[in-house]
A and B are shown apart, each in its own frame.
Chain A
Amino acid sequence: MTPLALLLTLSCVLFTLGLFAVLTRRNAILILVGVELMLNAANINFIAFWRYGQAGVEDPNMIGPMFVLFSIAIAAAEAAVGLAIILMVFRHTRSTDLNRLDSLHG
């Protein structure tokens, strides 16, 4: 198994774990935990392909790390806004359980 395959498998597993968390958790903050895992899975892909994916290429580029840099910045922003929204929801409903947010329920 090459390192690239190993890293890609890791990223697949992390993504699935994140998806699982998003699907099964009911606490909004813990859903955010799952989202962070999924984002990191994508980042690992970029780093893996930057490191091992351009072996024979002349003049290898830095697009992978660059993308990860932006991705980390955006992930931090996403966490901040997400948690601010969750706090606001909490203030209205006194709960972060997403099952309780059913006031538009028909």
Chain B
Amino acid sequence: MIALFILIPLIVLAALGAIWKARPVHAALLLALSLSLVAVLYLLLGADFLGLIQFSVYVGAVAVLIVFSLLITRPSDETKEIARRPQSILAGLICAVPVLAVLVYSVSYSIGSDEVSESSPSQFELAELGKSLFTTYAPAVMAVAVMLTAVMIGAALFARDFNQRES
């Protein structure tokens, strides 16, 4: 519980940095920090497997992809971004604050109805997860597999430079 109280502000702070930093690479690195802290949160909650998967996918793949494409695309200079800030923040707040209000209201509403005890939290069973992955959820696994193959081919096709075809 104490660990949660320490970790959650850190996650929010890192996420705030990720959306606030004008320099794109800083934003991407703070996103990586925030998501790896979410991985630590999963570990704390007892979902070891998911925590490690979260860490290796988000830090090892997604964050690396993002910084890589930031390097390739030479991001536009941040002075323009900063100059545009007042109006964009106003617009963002107008849209985001009602959403937050609705979300928090619905969460408090749904929790307040029945008391959830802290005792006897569920245990993470990796073997059970693996078994059901290839029995109950086999169609979903196959669908994801097909999707990942399609994504790999599609991404390779998209990213290919058609103008300078190699000999």
Tally of A-B Cβ pairs under 8 angstroms: 219
Known: A70-B140, A80-B65. A33 touches B31 (CB 8 A): yes
Asked if B144 and A97 sit within 8 Å, CB to CB, the answer is no
Q: Are B66 and A79 in contact, CB atoms less than 8 angstroms apart?
A: yes
Size category of the B interface is: 35 or more
Q: Do A55 and B107 form a contact, CB below 8 Å, given A29-B70, A29-B75, A60-B122?
A: no
On whether A14 and B144 interact (CB within 8 A), knowing A47-B42, A79-B66, the answer reads no
Known: A2-B116, A87-B72. Is A17-B62 also a contact (CB below 8 A)?
no
Mark interface residues in B106-146 (1 if CB within 8 Å of A CB, else 0): 01100100001111111111001100110001001000100
Q: How many residues of A contact B (CB 8 A)?
A: 70
Q: How distant is B34 from chain A, measured CB to nearest CB, in Å?
A: 7
Dominant SS at the A interface? helix
Does B117 lie within 8 Å of A55, measured CB to CB?
A: yes
CB-defined contacts of A52 to chain B, threshold 8 Å: 116, 118, 121
- Taking CB atoms, residues of chain A closer than 8 Å to B41 are 44, 47
Q: Nearest Cβ in chain B — how far from A22, in angstroms?
A: 9
B27 contacts the other chain (CB 8 A): yes
Do the beta carbons of B66 and A3 come within 8 Å of each other? Answer: no
A81 within 8 A of B: yes
Q: Which of B75, B91, B128 has the most CB of A within 10 A?
A: B75
- With A20-B19, A33-B27: A15-B103 Cβ-Cβ less than 8 Å: yes
Q: Would B144 and A73 count as touching, CB distance under 8 A? A: yes
A37 vs B18: C-alpha distance when bound (angstroms) = 9
By the criterion CB–CB under 8 Å, are A4 and B111 in contact?
yes
A77 in the interface, Cβ–Cβ < 8 Å? yes
Cβ < 8 Å to B, chain A residues 71-102: 72-77, 79-81, 83-88, 90-91, 95-97
Question: Is B12's CB under 8 angstroms from A13's CB?
Answer: yes
Quick check: A29 and B12 within 8 Å, CB to CB? no
Residue A103, interface by CB 8 Å:
no
* CB neighbours of B42 from chain A (8 A): 47
Interface residues of A (CB under 8 A from B): 2-10, 12-21, 23-27, 29-30, 32-34, 36-37, 40, 43-44, 47-48, 50-56, 60, 62, 65-66, 68-70, 72-77, 79-81, 83-88, 90-91, 95-97
Task: Return 10 A-B CB contacts under 8 Å, by A number.
Answer: A2-B118, A13-B12, A36-B35, A47-B47, A66-B129, A73-B57, A73-B148, A80-B151, A88-B158, A91-B161
